Structure 1
């Protein structure tokens, strides 16, 4: 229990003298016992230096385990009412408190920058995923507010807010949580007051007042100093020129800068110019991206048209080749004596004519136009060439058919495999040999009979 001067001042001197002295003695004894059980500021500084050294040597698991006891409340030292002892960092000085929280957030940033395999190996799969989730979901901000500032968002030190916002900008899945937290902080924290005369008057009054103050506010905290103003400007810069722009709220950022009471005219103009430059850069980037996408689409369309043109040319060339081969085949085809065989019987049945008529016929034949020459029977070489050409055409047509219809090739392969399997059976081979032997005997006997008949 702490001594509240405003409460004792309301009591009359005659009626509450003994009560006031009793409350004062109890408060002093309670404060002494509580202070003796808490770690001193030197121990906090020593632990901070040890964790910093571990972090600088890239021993992240040891650095995190060293700094965690400073920022985590301890349930072992709960009082009679069941209240949990606050974290040791709460009772540290403002500079020490900022250093401890900044080191913790820096360690988290380094952990999230590790490769997944390296992080799982260093911390274990579950712990590494938990640390990443805490930062990416924005839960680390609530952890800082609850453990370090009694759940009061406006009491968070401005330097810690800057580190939190920067951490979420680098690793958060969405900037919605970051925007909401910054808006809550800006709405709940007081605007810095740089009126020196007023600050001196408040300092004199605070010396004679025992009103309880938060550890992060008041004269000792430097809430209304130029340094705090610079920190507030940095927070506004993160909020308006980074977080809001990531959420695509350009108009709201411009309006917020225009009505902000923290910014003077020079800074406001600088913020608006920076916002305009960023918007122009984004528009230029979007325009280049759109042009690049349009070029890719045009190139794809050209490639498709070129492919269609090449296919049409190949089809036309193939048709011309087939027409030429068909014309050559028709020109090389020869009548193999069908007309002669039909005219032979007619010449047999013709009555013999006299020598005069034969002479007339010879004269008529000789008077026939010389342009039309009698077609000679093809030689053996010509017939072989025709057979080879036809066989080649069959092979080319078969190749084109198989290329157009791959399933036909699969069926042919399956058919050949089935033939090989069928011939692999001994009974089938014997049966085929028997059939071939019988056929060959019949052919040989038929040929022998033909020879005998020819001889006769």
Structure 2
């Protein structure tokens, strides 16, 4: 026992010496780090002000090129050595948040540019690379790698809020945003068991420029608590809802240890109101789509009904036109056939009356046979010829009508054909010439007959 006690007594001063020497070296390194950190923060603040002034004057390329050396790690001359951390990693928390916020704001303004304007200002390839970095979520990895040594949980909550807001506005899909936020929340709430990391955190805590710790749940101060609540709000009420994960968002709010009862109730009410709004918007969209479909069907039905009405009107018009044409042909034939019928009737009545008016010859009134009758005159001859022709036509036509019913139709066809022929201009002129020639010959014959009868 004594031996062990002596050994313990012997080792105890050694441990105390080592502990004091470690604390002294840690204090010296923290002091040197503090001095370099103040100098780096001063330089970064100056660059931040220059870039901010350029951004406010809408000189986006100059503003971006001014702030890039601060957030990018300098390239190593030797390919085999590791590259140095970016200058922003050595700055204070306030400066870090300002620089990253300005960088994300520049990227947001860059993505919102018109494609033609962006290609003209930055160049086609550079502008497409910057836009793709934002829309694919690569900017989040860039911030974690260059500003926080690749440790997801060490990212400042204000920077996380800006990153989530940027991806929420411009990312192609919110799955990337959801994955990044879940990784950050898991990393920031997982306890860190690395002793060297705790010693570094203790050194940072004792330094004038305190950094936000990466262990714990990020709610050590009221500011950290408000930032964590803001992150939860973005995650549960925006990102998850954009991915249509309503049940998971409600469950996450219910089991979150960061939210108190009042905030949890407010989150659940907001989630329910957003879900009700989505259902109402879906109902209105469905009603609008159904109204448009009904309106389209109504328009199609009206067009079909108007087409049928037009077709019916056209058909009725054609039928009326056909009936009018047929009626005019029938009326024309009746009007042409009436004079012939009237003439035949008159001829039959005249023949009957002439037969009745002639008295029966008696032997007493018979003239003597040796009496010479005067020769008939020309007018008497013409009258006899016309009377015989009328009698012949009337008797023959009447008999033909009785024996052959189609004779009337043939006669009508003949008359129509004659009228069609006569209606031509050449035929009219020829008929006029023939009639004039015939009338001239007939008048000459009558004159000659008058002279002969006078003689």
Tell me the TM-score normalized by structure 2.
0.64
In 1, Cα distance between equivalents of 2:204 and 2:136:
26
Q: Which residue of 1 is the match for residue 269 of structure 2?
A: 273
CA deviations on 1:357-390 (whole Å, 9 max, x unpaired) are 986977998xx9xxx9x9899899x969x99xxx
For the pair 1:43 / 2:48, whether they are aligned, the reply is no
**Aligned residues of 1:70 and 1:88 also touching (Cα < 8 A):** yes
Deviations 1:66-105, CA, capped at 9 Å, x for gaps: 1111110112366x97111000000000110111101100
Confirm or deny that 1:254 pairs with 2:250: yes
* 1:41 Cα offset (Å): 1.8
Change (3 A) 1:151 1:277: same
Check conservation: 1:215, 1:221, Cα contact below 8 A. no
Q: Distance in 2 between matches of 1:104 and 1:215?
A: 29
| Structure with the higher fraction of residues in helix conformation | 2
1:310 & 1:378 partners in 2: Cα distance?
A: 46
From the superposition, tell whether residues 29 and 274 of structure 1 become closer, same or farther in structure 2 (CA, over 3 Å): closer
**Is the alpha carbon distance of 1:21 and 1:376 closer, same or farther for their aligned partners in structure 2, counting shifts above 3 Å?**
closer
2:259 to 244, 256, 263: 263
- Quote the residue 2:201 is aligned against: 213
Q: Which runs of 5+ in 1 are unaligned?
A: 1-10, 193-205, 340-346, 348-353, 388-446
Q: Does 1:54 align with 2:54?
A: yes
Residue 156 of structure 2 aligns with which residue? 157
CA distance in 2, matches of 1:166, 1:69: 24
Q: CA deviation at 1:183?
A: 0.5
Q: TM-score of the superposition, structure 1-length normalised? A: 0.64
SS in 2 for 1:212: helix
Q: Once the 2 structures are TM-superposed, how far is the Cα of residue 148 of structure 1 from its aligned partner?
A: 0.7
Q: CA deviation at 1:325?
A: 1.2
Partner of 1:412: none
Aligned length: 344
CA deviation vs aligned residue, 1:260-280 (integer Å, no higher than 9, x gap)? 000000000000000011111
CA apart distance, 1:213 = 2.4
State the match for 2:297 in structure 1: 301
Q: Kindly indicate whether the alpha-carbon contact (under 8 Å) linking 1:241 and 1:253 is maintained by their aligned counterparts in 2.
A: yes
- The CA deviation string for residues 213-261 of structure 1, in whole angstroms up to 9 with x for no partner, is 2998899235511100000000000000000000001111011001100
Which is greater in Rg? 2
For the Cα contact (< 8 Å) 1:38–1:88, is it kept in 2?
no
RMSD: 4.7
Counterpart position of 1:316: 312
In structure 2, the gaps of 5 or more residues are 1-10, 213-217, 338-343, 345-349, 357-390, 402-407, 425-429, 439-455
User: Structure 1 residue runs of 4+, over 4 Å off?
Assistant: 11-18, 20-39, 214-219, 354-365, 374-380
Give the drift of 1:328: 1.7
CA distance in 2: counterparts of 1:121 and 1:244, whole angstroms: 37
Shift of 1:329: 1.7
Distance 2:171 2:155 in 1: 20
Q: 2-side partners of 1:16 and 1:295: how far apart?
A: 85
The DSSP-based 3-state class of the residue aligned with 1:211 is helix
Alpha-carbon offset, residue 40 of structure 1: 2.2
